[in-house]
Structures are given as structure tokens and as C-alpha cells.
């Protein structure tokens, strides 16, 4: 995976993944679907890593949900994003449409 874009909802994250051919938008929702399908963390990670770029909402801030699945889902999204960030060439956080580069590895030619 080359790029991970994270940030709150409605921050124009998709713009920063333009130019990539295989972009997974709304990775947080894909994780929810994979969890409901009973996939393991390793299988979910492999699925996410199969994309060239992943765009994910930050779901770990705010009020802690009462629903147990929602709490577990938020934790799983956070843990998967940590692993994606470790493996990605570039990681960008977007706030108010402004990109903040958290990680950028040079492309060797």
C-alpha cells in the first residue's frame, strides 16, 4: 500500500487520493462489514493492504458508544490504521481540507 489518508468525516480526504488507481474509500465502513462477516484481523488487514490507497475516517474520538459492537469496531479500525500506517509509504492526516504529512518515504528509482 502506498498511501493512507486519515481524518474526521467531511474533511475532503478523497482529494488527496486522486491519481491513485485503486483507492478504498471509507475504509472504516469496510472494516465494519468485514467484522460483521466474521473476518479475522489478519484477513481484514490483507484486504486493506491490497489497495494502492486507503482513505479512512477517524472514528476513535468523541463520545464512547454504549453499544459493545460499536466500541469494538472503533478499536479495530484504530488498530488496523496503526498497522496500515506502519506499512504505507505515505500517511496524510487531513483537517479542514489541509493535508498534514505524517510519513513520507522517498521513492527510489
pLDDT of residue 1: 83
Mean pLDDT in order along the chain per 10 residues (109 residues):
94 94 97 98 98 96 92 97 97 96 78
- The per-residue pLDDT for 108 is 52
CB neighbour list of residue 51: distance below 8 Å, 6 or more residues apart: 1, 22, 23, 24
Specify the pLDDT at position 109.
Answer: 47
Task: Supply the pTM of this predicted model.
Answer: 0.92
Q: Are 92 and 102 in contact (CB under 8 A)?
A: yes
What DSSP character marks residue 15? G
Residue 91 φ/ψ, nearest 5 degrees: -130, 130
Looking at residue 61, its pLDDT comes to 87
> In the CATH hierarchy, which top-level class contains the domain 3-104?
alpha beta
The predicted pLDDT at position 107 comes to: 63
**What ranges do the domains of the chain cover?**
3-104
N residues, the chain: 109
Amino acid at each position: 500500500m502506498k498511501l493512507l489518508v486519515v481524518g474526521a468525516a467531511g474533511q475532503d480526504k478523497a482529494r488527496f487520493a486522486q491519481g491513485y488507481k485503486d483507492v478504498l474509500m471509507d475504509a472504516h465502513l469496510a472494516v465494519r462489514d468485514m467484522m460483521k462477516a466474521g473476518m479475522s484481523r489478519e484477513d481484514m488487514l490483507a484486504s486493506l493492504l491490497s489497495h494502492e490507497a486507503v482513505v479512512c475516517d477517524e472514528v476513535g474520538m468523541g463520545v464512547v458508544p454504549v453499544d459493545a459492537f460499536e466500541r469494538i469496531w472503533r478499536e479495530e479500525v484504530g488498530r488496523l490504521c496503526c498497522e496500515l500506517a506502519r506499512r504505507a509509504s505515505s500517511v496524510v492526516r487531513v483537517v479542514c481540507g489541509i493535508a498534514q504529512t505524517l510519513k513520507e518515504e522517498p521513492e527510489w528509482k
